[in-house]
Amino acid sequence: MDKLFTIETHLHTSQGSACAHSTGAEMARAHKAAGYDAIILTDHFFGGNTAVPRDLPWEERIERYCAGYEEARFVGEEIGLKVFFGIEWAWKGTEFLTYGLDKAYLLAHPEMEDWDIPTYLTNVRAAGAYVSHAHPFRQADYLTHAPRFFPEYVDAVEVWNCGNAKAEYNDQALSYAEKYGLAQTAGSDGHDAREMRGGGMRFYTEMETIWDFIRAVRTRQPCEILRGKKKEF
C-alpha cells in the first residue's frame, strides 16, 4: 500500500474569520504536528463571519481575506505541509466549501458577495470550481434560517463535520449525499490551533495541488473519513 495522504478540507484563520482564534501560521504548524500532509484554508467569505471590514475597497478586502491562507502557505513551504486555497461562501447561514477558485477570480468578481445561491453556484462551477455543501443539516444559534438544499447545484456534501453539535446532523448529511448520488467531503471546521479535532480525509494518493484533491473527490477515489474527536456527542 502506498503512503497514506491526510488532508484537512475545512479550516479557518483569524486573519479571515472573526470566529477563529489562530493565525494561518499557527494553523499550519498545528496541522503539521498533528500529522496532516495537506490543509485547505476555507475562511468565511463576506456573507459569513468574516474578519474583513466591509468598508474597504474590494482589492484591500480580498488581500485581507487571503492573508491567512498566504501566511499558512509560506509556513507550509518551510515545514513541509501542502497548503491549498478554498473559501467558505455563505448566504444567510447556508455555506458552501468552494475549491479551485483563486485570488485572481475573487479580485475580478466584486459582485460575487451579492450573488444569490443559485447564481453563485452556477458561476463558480462554470469557472471550474468544485463545491461541497458545508454541514447542511447543522442547527446552531447563529443559524437563523431553515436549512436549504441545492442538490442540483453542488458537486459534493460535507458528510462529516467535527464542529456539528449533534451526530444526527452528520448522519443526515450522509443520507442526503447518498440520496442524490453526490460526492462526499469531511473536515474538522477548525477555528483554534489549540483545539485540534482530528477530522479530514485520508487518501492513498499524493496531492500536489487543489486539483489533485478535487479529482480524488470527483472520481470517488477510496478514502477514509476521519471523524476525529467528537465535540458534544
Binding site for Zn ion (CB under 5 A): 19, 49, 88, 189
Residue type, 183: A
* Dist. CA 87–CA 219, nearest whole Å: 21
Count CA atoms within 13 Å of residue 192 on its CB side. Answer: 7
Instruction: Tell me whether residue 144 is exposed, middle or buried, using C-beta atoms within 10 angstroms of its C-beta: 0 to 12, 13 to 18, 19 or more.
Output: exposed
CB of 140 to Zn ion, least distance (A): 10
User: For residues 34 and 40, which CB has a smaller minimum distance to Zn ion in the complex?
Assistant: 40
Residue nearest to Zn ion (CB): 19
Identity of the residue numbered 136: P
Q: How far is the CB of 172 from Zn ion (least distance, A)?
A: 18
CB of 142 to Zn ion, least distance (A): 9
CB nearer Zn ion, residue 20 or residue 79: 20
> Which residues, 6+ apart, have CB-to-CB distance to 23 below 8 Å?
13, 14, 15, 68, 71
* Min separation Cβ 224 and Zn ion, Å: 21
Question: Exposed, middle or buried, 220 (CB in 10 Å: 0-12/13-18/19+)?
Answer: exposed
Min dist. Cβ of residue 231 to Zn ion (A): 13
Closer Cβ to Zn ion, 2 or 232, answer by number: 232
Q: Minimum distance between the CB of residue 16 and Zn ion, rounded to whole angstroms?
A: 10
162 and 137 in contact (C-beta within 8 Å)? Answer: no
Return the number of the residue (57 or 191) whose C-beta is nearest Zn ion.
191
Nearer to Zn ion (CB atom), residue 19 or residue 107:
19
Nearer to Zn ion, 161 or 172 (CB): 161
Please, what is the minimum distance in Å from the beta carbon of residue 65 to Zn ion?
14
Q: Identify whether the C-beta of residue 184 lies closer than 8 Å to the C-beta of residue 174.
A: yes
4 vs 19, beta carbon nearer Zn ion? 19
Burial class (CB in 10 A: 0-12, 13-18, 19+), 78: exposed
Cα separation of 143 and 223, whole Å? 31
